[in-house]
Amino acid sequence: MVSTVTTTTVTTVTTATIGVIAELSLVLIVMLLGMLIAKEVVSGSDRPLLKAFGRALSVAVVPLMMGFVLIAAVRVLEVLH
């Protein structure tokens, strides 16, 4: 009985974790796209405040880009495996 409960628990936790990771991946990609679009829009401005905002967006985009590369690599490895 203990092994049945343990197997069921592991299956449930794994399924829930995969769902959460998929949702977080989607949120990360949408945030990255939004920030890249905002950065492009702001980069064409001559106002100093908007230029500073563009630099701040550059700082925020780097970790999101690293997360995107990690997600893409994991997905490719899942397909190849």
> pLDDT of 17-49, one tens digit each?
666 677 788 888 898 899 999 998 898 888 889
Cα 62 to chain centroid distance, Å, stands at 12
Residue 46, both tokens: 């001559």
Give CA–CA dist 39/17, Å, rounded: 32
Prediction pTM value: 0.66
Tokens read off for 26: 């989607």
Q: Which of 59, 34, 39 is nearest to 51 (CA)?
A: 39
Output 52 or 2, whichever has higher pLDDT.
52
Residue 28 contacts residue 67 (beta carbons within 8 Å)? yes
